[in-house]
């Protein structure tokens, strides 16, 4: 079977691309991310794949048609941690993505964003999709559902031309991954109850979900910026939800600040290093350790004046990525060389900040794969009239 051609926009470190590749037989033909750090990561993993850069400047009529389009467009306009300007935010990139959809007409389009996008701006996305002749289905899923040591709930949605023969979609799929060591959970065990949307593009409320045919928008940009989750400001930013992921009954218990992990004294943990006392985070860390098949790195590393700071190695592990996917020194050697060619000033903190920025923008691949598998199952199981079972 010939692999489906895939284009990726707002690619970041490629977490959504990895999720799609775990479920569909795809071959990347281009990526698009202008951030220098993300570009260095993508060039390292896909040396023969062109990077189209800034999607606001791409002439899509000059880009070859593709079978699958995916992307995790900037969440800052919609995140509860941001200013919540929605479509009025200068970083709102959906209009440019809609243009790409109109020109390229892929067989499938897969996107991800923060869960709060469902309440802010998503109705406009669905309206645009309807105006372009696409149907859509969506799901919200926590990373902890696939075993990750943090919640990180994401909205993942699937769109396809309304006149698509669904047997063509089913024929593109690979056998389901199994939830084993290092694998991907094929079907989420917990998800929001979702009701079918109105085929005329009704504006969804907070509890809405399911399918909808989806009309018009504004303009603007901003790619390669970390989502406003304070991921670069210390261990609490990443670990804040670990206890919640470990404890499904947390809402029934008194609120208290989780005990922070105490890292081993040695910066480079060898077999003889003291084990980390993860405190309340222990069950979640242990669970993710078993799933990934490798232990967690130390959560901090020595910073300025010996003060501990968040370790990119640990965040990479939390995001379910292979070791070195973002932190491989070869990536950042090339990054520094490219920066010097541009005349940019490089400091010792530059690569670390770029790594954390990339990691802060990403999706857990196992989470994305589980969500996409569920969406495709739902799509291909539904009768052609789109109504489904009562």
Helix and strand counts by DSSP (H, E) for the chain: 12, 9
Report the candidate in 368, 378, 379 with the shortest Cα–Cα distance to residue 113. 368
Token pair for 151: 């919640």
Tokens 């996409």, residue located: 372
Runs of H (alpha helix) within 3-112: 15-23, 36-45, 94-104
Annotated catalytic residue 10: no
Question: Model pTM?
Answer: 0.77
Torsion angle in degrees (nearest 10) through CA of 52, 55, 58, 60:
100
Ranges of the chain whose pLDDT falls below 70:
1, 75-92, 165-274, 382-390
CA pair distance 231, 310, nearest whole angstrom? 9
pLDDT score for 79: 52
Q: How many CB atoms lie within 10 A of CB 222?
A: 16
Q: Strand, coil or helix: what is 169?
A: helix
CA atoms within 13 A on the CB side of 192: 21
CA–CA separation, 49 and 105 (whole Å): 21
Q: How far is the first Cα of the chain from the last one, in angstroms, to the nearest whole number?
A: 35
| Phi/psi of residue 154, nearest 5 degrees | -130, 150
**Residue 159, helix vs strand vs coil:** strand
Per the DSSP assignment, residues forming a β-bridge with 157 are 111, 138
Token pair belonging to 43:
């060039």
DSSP-derived letter for residue 306 is G
DSSP H or E stretch at residue 349: helix 348-360
Q: Which two tokens stand for residue 266?
A: 């040695």
> What pLDDT shows up at residue 366?
97
Q: How far apart, in Å, are the Cα atoms of 99 and each of 55, 69, 95, 102, 193?
A: 10, 12, 6, 5, 31
C-alpha distances in Å from residue 111, one per residue of 15, 17, 159, 282, 309:
11, 10, 9, 32, 32
Chain centroid offset of residue 7 CA: 15
What pLDDT is stored for residue 197 in this prediction? 35
Distance in angstroms (rounded) separating the CA atoms of residues 236 and 310: 9
Q: Which of 20, 75, 372, 379 is catalytic?
A: 75
* pLDDT score recorded for residue 230: 37
DSSP 180: S
The pLDDT score that the predictor gives to residue 262 is 61
Q: In the prediction, which pLDDT does 164 show?
A: 74
Whether the Cβ atoms of residue 267 and residue 298 lie closer than 8 Å to each other: yes
What pLDDT score was predicted for residue 38? 96
Please report the pLDDT score of residue 104 as a whole number: 97
Q: In the chain, what are the domains? A: 4-226+364-381 (3.40.50.150), 235-328+340-360 (no CATH)
Bridge partner list, 318: none
Q: Which residues contact 343 (CB under 8 A, 6 or more apart)?
A: none
């Amino acid at each position: 079977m010939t692999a489906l051609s895939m284009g990726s926009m707002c690619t970041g470190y490629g977490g959504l691309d990895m999720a799609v590749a775990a479920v569909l037989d795809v071959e990347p033909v281009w990526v698009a991310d202008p951030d220098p750090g993300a570009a260095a990561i993508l060039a390292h993993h896909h040396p023969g794949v062109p990077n189209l850069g800034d999607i606001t400047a791409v002439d899509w009529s000059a880009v070859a048609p593709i079978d699958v389009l995916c992307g995790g467009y900037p969440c800052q306009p919609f995140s509860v941690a941001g200013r919540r300007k929605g479509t009025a935010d200068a970083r709102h990139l959906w209009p440019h993505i809609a243009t790409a959809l109109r020109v390229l007409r892929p067989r499938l389009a897969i996107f991800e964003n923060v869960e709060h996008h469902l309440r802010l701006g998503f109705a406009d996305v669905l309206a645009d999709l309807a105006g372009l002749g696409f149907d859509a289905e969506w799901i919200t899923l926590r990373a902890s559902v696939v075993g990750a040591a943090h919640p990180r709930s994401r909205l993942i949605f699937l769109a396809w031309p309304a006149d698509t023969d669904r047997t063509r979609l089913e024929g593109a799929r690979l056998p389901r991954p199994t939830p084993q060591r290092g694998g991907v959970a094929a079907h989420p065990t917990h998800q929001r109850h979702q009701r079918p949307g109105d085929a005329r593009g009704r504006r969804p409320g907070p509890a809405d979900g399911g399918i909808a045919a989806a009309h018009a928008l504004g303009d603007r940009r901003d790619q390669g910026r970390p989502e406003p989750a304070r991921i670069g400001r210390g261990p609490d930013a990443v670990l804040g939800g670990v206890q919640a992921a470990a404890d499904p009954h947390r809402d029934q218990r008194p609120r208290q600040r989780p005990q922070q992990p105490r890292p081993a004294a040695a910066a480079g943990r060898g077999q003889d290093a003291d084990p980390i006392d993860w405190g309340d985070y222990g069950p979640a860390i242990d669970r993710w350790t078993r799933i990934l098949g490798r232990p967690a790195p130390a959560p901090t590393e020595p910073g300025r004046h010996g003060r501990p700071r968040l370790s990119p190695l640990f965040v990479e592990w939390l995001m379910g990525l292979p070791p070195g996917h973002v932190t491989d020194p070869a990536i950042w050697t090339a990054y520094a060389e490219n920066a010097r060619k541009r005349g940019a000033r490089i400091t010792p903190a530059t690569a670390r900040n770029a790594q954390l920025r990339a990691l802060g923008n990403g999706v857990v691949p196992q989470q994305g794969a589980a969500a996409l598998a569920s969406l495709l199952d739902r799509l291909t199981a539904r009768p052609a009239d789109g109504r489904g079972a009562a």
